[in-house]
Structure formats: structure tokens, C-alpha cells
Structure 1
């Protein structure tokens, strides 16, 4: 159960004050899509719809700020006092990490090796286990992105900037996120990511036509050129170095599709992000 709460926190980010109900809907849809809601319902002995209602009420009461040290305690206490049996909660609160078995094998090998160099067979076994961990991690990331995309579907109407036709929404954070920098918290605008089978140049051309007042900022990351079409462009602005200020400005960030985008949308050539002002 605790793992699910932390996962929800990771999805939502540190949301702005008074988050919209749509953000809670996305989070609950994610739990349903990933099978977590059904697993927890079976574990707690509650009907799935009842557990969903309890989560909705709890998140409305406790908020979505997982950076608050009291947040997890609030969620747990609220669930226990509104209908989740405590004895069942304790049983469900056992986190099963599929990589624990691999880590246990690695620990056993390293303990056996001690200070000496591993044999060729031992090194081959270590390499095999590390590869398995990497593959598991990629599979879990892919599954999470699939569930996030499905959970975000149908929320496009609240996005106040144009959406490229025939693109696929990958993830939507309508409450924005907060990023802690030292003692300061930087809040982003609401944002969503999309994949398109059009080229980056075609996506850029579409948005330049749709948003003629926005200013173009091109920048390089590695061997690729990316584009940020921004509502206003501060003097001396360079996206990679000023991204924390950039996410508070309405803009479209366009880049070549990555492997996740290609898997979620076969034939994807472009990944783009929309940061927008929420509607009044």
C-alpha cells in the first residue's frame, strides 16, 4: 500500500495549491490501469469502487503535496478512519520489489568473493544479473508510461494552447509541478507531453502558424537541435540552462522522439511538450 502512495506522489509531482479534481482523476485512473486499485481492493477486502471513493476523499482532504512530511501520515490515517480495515492495511503495506531477488543474489556473490577478484564465471553471473535488473527497470518504465498515457486520455480539453492534430498524449500534469532548488520552490505551469508521426520541422511549422506571436528559440543538446516556441523570450535566455524559468512561461518544446515515444506511438518522429496557462 505504501508503495502505491509513493508512486502516486511521483506521478503528481509537488502540485500547486488547490489542485483540480482532474489531477486526482488521472492518478486514480493510473492506479486502475496499472492494476494497483484491484490488487489493493482484494488485499483490503473492499470493493474496488469503494476504495477509489476513499482515495478520492482522502486526496481531497490531505492534498497532493508529497514533499510535506505529514502527507503520508495524513493519507494513511484518513484511509484508516474512513473505511480501510487497519489489520488489512498492515498486510497490504508489504512492499514487494521484483528486483529484491536479484539484489539478494548479487549480495551473496559479493559476500562469497570478499576481497579477491571475481572468477570469469562469477563476473559473467554478475553481468547477467545486472542486465536483468536493467531490463526489468526498462519494462517497468514502459508499463508505467503506458498506464500514464491511458490515465491522461480525455483530459485534453483543459489545455489552453493548440494540440497538434493526430498527436498522442503521453502524460498530463494539469496542476503543474514544484521543483525544490535549495530553500526555494519553483512552480511550473501545467504541462502535457505528446508524440507525433510528423517531423520536428512539421510540428514546429504547425505551431508557428497557430501561435504567430510566440518567439522561436533554437538550441542544441548533443547532436540534435531542439526548438522552444515561447510566449515571450527573456534576454539572454538559453533553454538548457534556464529550463526552471522556462517552465513558468507558456511555450511548446519540440524535439526528436525518444524510445518511449516510439513505443507508445509506432512511427513517432517527434516528442513535444505543451506548457500552458490554466483557463480562468
Structure 2
């Protein structure tokens, strides 16, 4: 698969902890295009394709808009449709987009040739760039989810902030679509969140599986196995809540994931 396509798929995956097929929306398109701008050498790529940078960005944006509803940026839509929109042959397009293994060789750094100080500086720079990209993606995902909270049929903990909302569900590796899934964060403790759901959903059971609390109508016997299945996403076909705590920017943050049946 071409590097350009891989960049897009990776971007989509980073926005959530499992493989997600995003809905078409302006925020997702903006996020993907911005990631492309940061990752691809636009000047050399545009020169190779024989188009201006402006025209390439416009064509690429149209391609992403068309491909999100077609394959969620997980298939070959980008590399098949982009040449058509750019008005060039596929052979020309393919020749300008390096294969993943070639790109990795070009980007490889010979750490043995660097001093300890240079390696530390490079690592710090890479971490800062990665964090900046993640923060941008998080902001865009949050923007795309605004105004959709009233669609959620299970109780939403308050105070909390919505991070993302897959209102049409997520697609697993078999092409099946899950229930809608929304994610939230709060500064309150996991214990407070669990207490809220215990009171709000008295008929639901609560199970702690390695630090992740599951609030479900019926706890599966193989919960641990199901929770690790990120290919088929079996738990996200069942209405439930997950909550757990992680350190974000050196602060404890409680995450809440709600998988629900639409009204």
C-alpha cells in the first residue's frame, strides 16, 4: 500500500483506540488534510505530479471527501480516485508516491552516528511533534462531535467533556458496523463515575476487568477475552459503559466510553 494512503489510515486510527470508520464530516476531512500537509513534502510531490501545491491540496481534499463515505479511508479509494481528480494517469500518480518500505528507508535515522545529546534532542523533537499532532486531532474530533450528545440513549456522566462520537457506529475488520459509540473525559475519579452509573442504571451489573470498569445489563463470562478483541469489536455491539483512568499531561484523567442503541 502506498505511503499516502497509509498516512490517512494511521490518522483515522489514532483518533480512537480501535479501528473506526468515520462518518463524512468537515472536521474529519480537515484533520486528514492537515495531517497530509504535515507529513508529505508538498513541494517535491507537487513538482513530481506536475501540479501546483494549491491545486494538489484542493484535489486531495475532494478525494478525501469522496472516499470517507466509500471506505472510511481503509481501502484503495484514495489511490484510485486521486489520479482521476488530479487529471493524471494512475501510473504517474503511483510513481510519485513512494512505497512504505522505500519511505521508511528515506526517513530512517542512523542513531549510531549521533551523539547522546543529539539523540536526546531528536527524541524530544519527535515527541513534541507527535503530541502536537495528537492534540490537533483531538481538537478536530471534539469539534466534529459538538451538538450530538442528545442522541445518546444511555446516561451521560456530568461534568464531562465529549471527545468523540461515532454516531453511525464503527466498522470492525469483518465490515460489520457496531452500535454508536461516544467517548468522554472527566477530572472526577473513576469511583465517582462508577457510583453515578450504579445509581442511574440499577439493573446493570458492574465488573472490574484489569482496571477498566464495565457497566452492562449482563456481564459476559468471557469479558476479558472480548475486551481484547480489537478486530471484531464484539463489546461494541452491546449497550454498555466503560470507564478507566489514565495519566494525561501528568494529570489523572477518567475516560468514559458509551456504546448505546439509538433512539
TM-score in terms of structure 1 length: 0.63
- Aligned positions of 1:71-150 closer than 5 A: 71-76=77-82, 80=85, 86=88, 103=107, 106-107=109-110, 110=112, 122-150=115-143
Which of 200, 219, 224 aligns to 1:210? It is 200
Distance 1:127 1:53, change over 3 A: closer
Q: Residues 219-270 of structure 1: CA distance to partner in whole angstroms, max 9, x if unpaired?
A: 23xxxx3311012212x2333x3213323221110112430696xxxxx742
Q: Residues 88-133 of structure 1: CA distance to partner in whole angstroms, max 9, x if unpaired?
A: x96xx879xxxx9x956x33x64x5xxxxxxxx7233223323322
Q: Residues 180-204 of structure 1: CA distance to partner in whole angstroms, max 9, x if unpaired?
A: 3xxx667543211101232212212
Which of 20, 28, 31 aligns to 1:30? It is 28
Q: Indicate yes or no: 2:263 matched with 1:276.
A: no
Q: Indicate yes or no: 2:225 matched with 1:237.
A: no
TM-score in terms of structure 2 length: 0.67
Task: Give me the CA root mean square deviation.
Answer: 4.1
Match of 1:171 in 2: 164
Helix, strand or coil at the partner of 1:192: strand
Match of 1:265 in 2: none
Distance 1:255 1:261, change over 3 A: farther
On the 8 A contact 1:252/1:273 being kept in 2, the answer is yes
Unaligned ranges ≥5, structure 1: 113-120, 263-267
On the 8 A contact 1:196/1:270 being kept in 2, the answer is yes
Which of 222, 227, 252 aligns to 2:213? It is 227
Distance 1:166 1:140, change over 3 A: same
Helix, strand or coil at the partner of 1:131: helix
Cα offset, 1:210, TM superposition: 2.1
Distance 1:138 1:129, change over 3 A: same
Which of 179, 197, 206 aligns to 1:189? It is 179
Unaligned ranges ≥5, structure 2: 43-51, 99-103
How many residue pairs were aligned?
230
Q: Indicate yes or no: 2:64 matched with 1:64.
A: no
On the 8 A contact 2:8/2:73 being kept in 1, the answer is no
